Chain A
Amino acid sequence: MMAILTNVLTKTIVKPFYRQNAGLLAMVFLIAGSFLRAVEHITLAEVAIRTHFVLAIYAGIWMLYGFHTTRFAARVLNDETILHHLRLIPRPMQWVVLVFTQLQLLLPVLIYAGFVATLAIKAGLWLSLTAILLTMMLLATWPLLWYTYILRHPATERLSGNIGSWFSQRFTTPYLFFFLRYLLSRQPVLLFLTKTGTLLVLLGLTALYPTDDYDLRLFGLGGLLVALAHITIIYRLYQFEHESLVLYRNLPVSLAQRLFRYMIQTAVLLLPEAILLIRYLPQDQSLWAILSVWAFTHSLVMVQFSLLLRRHRLPDELFPTLFWLLIGGFFTIMYQLPVWLLAMTGWLAASGLFMRYYPRSVWETR
């Protein structure tokens, strides 16, 4: 019985979660693997176990991830009516099954926390170890409250639904903002995590820039990482258009107009990065130069979107594409090619790919 239940929850919650977030997780691993060496990872973790403030930041990030997983699972539990039958099984078994599911969702955090905890044991820092263990226990068990509430009160109205309803009564959303509304109402944590990550990267670079003899290439590399970190959001755009807005393909809109509209939508998504770059414009760089970095970032986001149209793939199949984009982008920047030239090349490539593949693009479930 328990094996069947865990199997059902794994297939309906755990696997879809990792499928949907494969791009984001892949980017985190890529960035962590490319920027930091093993010894630096150990140094960082040692700083964390010795400094309570840093450990609190670690715990905060883990909790944010935990909230992201819980929100996903809660949505599935709420929407999949077949899962409401979980309420009928004895409560101890219900809790075991749900905690096991939550542990599977927390796996990346558990592995990393295990690594930090091992260092704490070696160093004999028992307070830090206790804090890590308590955080993990909390992350694994608190969602039970949420999940149990959903099972007892299925299909309740969401606050976001009420806000959306209030908004809909008063305003009409133009097509260009459909996807942004989707992100705000259905994927707020993904949006928040992505934007927090990319803005922190850029903020870090603006702080790093004056400390040594860096040039625009530093921001170029930042733009590359920012663009690749958007892969999960871009995949959502691709999925949203194919699954929920399939009627758009029946509308009399030319290919060029469609491309232009996607460029506007992605530009709106990258607006916070543009504002940050302009706000912290380095003294020895012109506005034109820093805008070229943003344009390069935008062109790479569009390249990713156009590449998705080439052949239907699941998010976890995107890793090789991301890897080659990272390598290719890295070398073109390091060879000191003008960033505007890179941006123009990116836009041209994205447009060519879009014109070629959009009409044949189709969402094919397997």
Chain B
Amino acid sequence: MLSLTNFAKSYHNRLIIQVPDWQLPTGIHWIKGINGSGKTTLFRSIAGMLPFDGQIVLNGQWDCEKQAVPYRLRVNYSEAEPTFPDFLTAWELIQWVGAAKQASASQRGELIDAFGIREFMKTPVGTYSSGMLKKTSLVLGFLGNPVLILLDEPLVTLDQQATETVSRLIRRYHEQGVSFLLSSHQDFNLSSLPVQSVWRVQDQTLMQEPLTGLPR
């Protein structure tokens, strides 16, 4: 589903993460790592938001740089700490991203209701709490018809109800063939999900960990 070849990302000549060869099959994959280990950098690179060295290819046909438009149509990203222009509303962001990702009006409405943001979605995001921002970011992450969704720290700052919504949506999208990369710096409360592999970002690279205690 996703392949990284000779991937490397540095800031100011300081290597953050390097992945010589990574072939990821369809499914749900959990990326672990302590704070500052490079998870977000990896996710942002895969989402096409950061320049990098090497090659990232989706489904063997869409290169992140060479087929930038079809690739980005199929790879969605929900940020760990979302930053949006504080004068825009969640509604404006959803309309903007939804139109670009070719999300139907019914899907937009469904996601808005699923995360319960209808009540505040027409107020500027500058007035939101961190949980409200996170919910907005998650709605954006599920818009359109993605092949891969990257959820960076998806449960941080969320209430119990929203956590269950995330779990339910991941399961439903996964049943429709969508793959997920989930990141977390701690064990999170999605243990009921059929996680296919677990990886740890450590020492500037990715290492596979055994699937202990997780359903397959």
Chain B residues engaging chain A, CB cutoff 8 angstroms: 11-12, 44, 47-51, 65, 68-73, 75-77, 79, 83-89, 91-92, 95-97, 100-101, 122-124, 126-127, 140
Instruction: Tell which of B51, B69, B85, B122 touches A182, judged by Cβ atoms closer than 8 Å.
Output: B85
Instruction: Tell which of A173, A254, A364 touches B69, judged by Cβ atoms closer than 8 Å.
Output: A254
Q: Does A211 contact B (CB under 8 A)?
A: no
Question: B92 — which chain A residues lie within 8 A by C-beta?
Answer: 168, 172-173
Chain B CB within 10 Å, residue with most, of A165, A247, A360 = A247
A350-366 Cβ-contact flags toward B at 8 Å (1 or 0): 00000000011110101
Chain A residues engaging chain B, CB cutoff 8 angstroms: 161, 164-165, 168-169, 172-175, 178, 181-182, 185-186, 240, 243-247, 249-255, 359-362, 364, 366
Chain A's closest residue to B90 (CB) is A168
Asked whether B68 lies within 8 Å of A255 as measured between CB atoms, the reply is: yes
The CA of A359 and the CA of B48, in the complex, are separated in Å by 9
Known A253-B69, A359-B65; contact A169-B87, beta-carbon cutoff 8 A? no
Instruction: Tell which of B70, B89, B91, B97 touches A247, judged by Cβ atoms closer than 8 Å.
Output: B97
Instruction: Tell which of B48, B85, B140 touches A245, judged by Cβ atoms closer than 8 Å.
Output: B85
6 contacts between A and B (CB under 8 A): A161-B87, A249-B47, A249-B49, A250-B75, A252-B100, A253-B100
Please classify the interface of chain B as helix (H, G, I), strand (E, B), loop, or mixed, using the class held by over half of its residues.
mixed
A78 to chain B, nearest CB (A): 12
The CA of A313 and the CA of B70, in the complex, are separated in Å by 31
The CA of A359 and the CA of B51, in the complex, are separated in Å by 7
The CA of A23 and the CA of B65, in the complex, are separated in Å by 33
Question: A174 — which chain B residues lie within 8 A by C-beta?
Answer: 96
A338 to chain B, nearest CB (A): 36
Known A165-B124, A254-B68, A255-B68; contact A246-B88, beta-carbon cutoff 8 A? no
Question: B72 — which chain A residues lie within 8 A by C-beta?
Answer: 250-253
Known A164-B124, A364-B12; contact A247-B51, beta-carbon cutoff 8 A? no
Question: A249 — which chain B residues lie within 8 A by C-beta?
Answer: 47-50
The CA of A282 and the CA of B97, in the complex, are separated in Å by 46
Chain A's closest residue to B46 (CB) is A250
Chain A CB within 10 Å, residue with most, of B48, B87, B95 = B87
The CA of A182 and the CA of B124, in the complex, are separated in Å by 12
Question: B76 — which chain A residues lie within 8 A by C-beta?
Answer: 250
Question: A182 — which chain B residues lie within 8 A by C-beta?
Answer: 85, 87
Asked whether A252 lies within 8 Å of B123 as measured between CB atoms, the reply is: no
Instruction: Tell which of A165, A181, A244, A361 touches B51, judged by Cβ atoms closer than 8 Å.
Output: A361
Question: B65 — which chain A residues lie within 8 A by C-beta?
Answer: 359
Given contacts A185-B87, A253-B72, 4 further A-B contacts (CB under 8 A): A172-B95, A249-B48, A249-B50, A252-B71
Pairs of residues from A and B, 7 with the lowest C-beta to C-beta distance, nearest first: A252-B73, A251-B100, A252-B72, A249-B49, A360-B51, A244-B85, A252-B69
Chain B's closest residue to A175 (CB) is B96
Question: B140 — which chain A residues lie within 8 A by C-beta?
Answer: 247
Asked whether B69 lies within 8 Å of A362 as measured between CB atoms, the reply is: no
Question: B122 — which chain A residues lie within 8 A by C-beta?
Answer: 168-169
Known A175-B96, A251-B100; contact A164-B68, beta-carbon cutoff 8 A? no
The CA of A247 and the CA of B140, in the complex, are separated in Å by 10
The CA of A360 and the CA of B50, in the complex, are separated in Å by 8
B135 to chain A, nearest CB (A): 15
Asked whether B87 lies within 8 Å of A240 as measured between CB atoms, the reply is: no
Chain A's closest residue to B102 (CB) is A252
The CA of A182 and the CA of B86, in the complex, are separated in Å by 9
B65 to chain A, nearest CB (A): 7
